[in-house]
């Protein structure tokens, strides 16, 4: 837990989040500023700032982020239509919260390439 991390506080329940899935390892909650009809963020409970901070021992945890994303997509009814998962790394990619999070976006057609 990082004291000044907003996503750690959502994971611990210190501040409210609209949580749609959680287990021992990961938490998924709705984005405050949704960019699609479904916009959920999947985070590890462990504080990891960026993709660049991942270590070998995080390999299973990263897999769990995707397994949770799959469950969220099924629950939201977008699994078959399609959805996008995105994890931004550092400023140029648009990362604003420095606790890794997998965006799960769906419910509308997605453009490519992303902006």
Considering the rule CB under 6 A, would residue 94 count as an interface residue with ligand AMP?
yes
- Residue 17 touches ligand AMP, criterion: CB under 6 A: yes
Q: CB pairs under 8 A, 24+ apart, for 66-70?
A: 66/102, 68/21, 68/23, 68/26, 68/28, 68/42, 68/102, 69/28, 69/40, 69/42, 69/102, 69/104
Q: Is 103 one of the annotated active-site residues of the chain?
A: no
The nearest distance, CB 77 to ligand AMP, in angstroms, is 21
95 scored as a contact of ligand AMP (CB under 6 A): yes
Q: With contacts defined by CB under 6 A, how many residues of the chain interact with ligand AMP?
A: 12
How far apart are CB 35 and ligand AMP at their closest, in Å?
7
Residues 72, 55: Cα–Cα separation, whole Å: 26
d(CA 106, CA 83): 4
Interface residues toward ligand AMP, by CB under 6 A: 6, 17, 29, 31-33, 41, 88, 94-97
Catalytic residues: 101
């Amino acid at each position: 837990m990082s004291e000044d991390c907003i996503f750690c506080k959502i994971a611990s329940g210190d501040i409210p989040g609209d949580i749609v899935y959680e287990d021992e390892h990961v938490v998924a909650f709705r984005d405050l500023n949704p960019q699609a009809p479904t916009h959920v963020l999947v985070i590890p409970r462990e504080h990891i700032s960026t993709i660049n901070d991942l270590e070998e021992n995080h390999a299973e945890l990263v897999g769990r982020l995707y397994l949770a994303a799959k469950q969220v997509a099924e629950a939201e009814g977008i699994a078959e239509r399609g959805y996008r998962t995105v994890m931004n790394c550092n400023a140029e990619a648009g990362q604003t919260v420095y606790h890794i999070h997998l965006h799960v976006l769906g419910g509308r057609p997605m453009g490519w390439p992303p902006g």
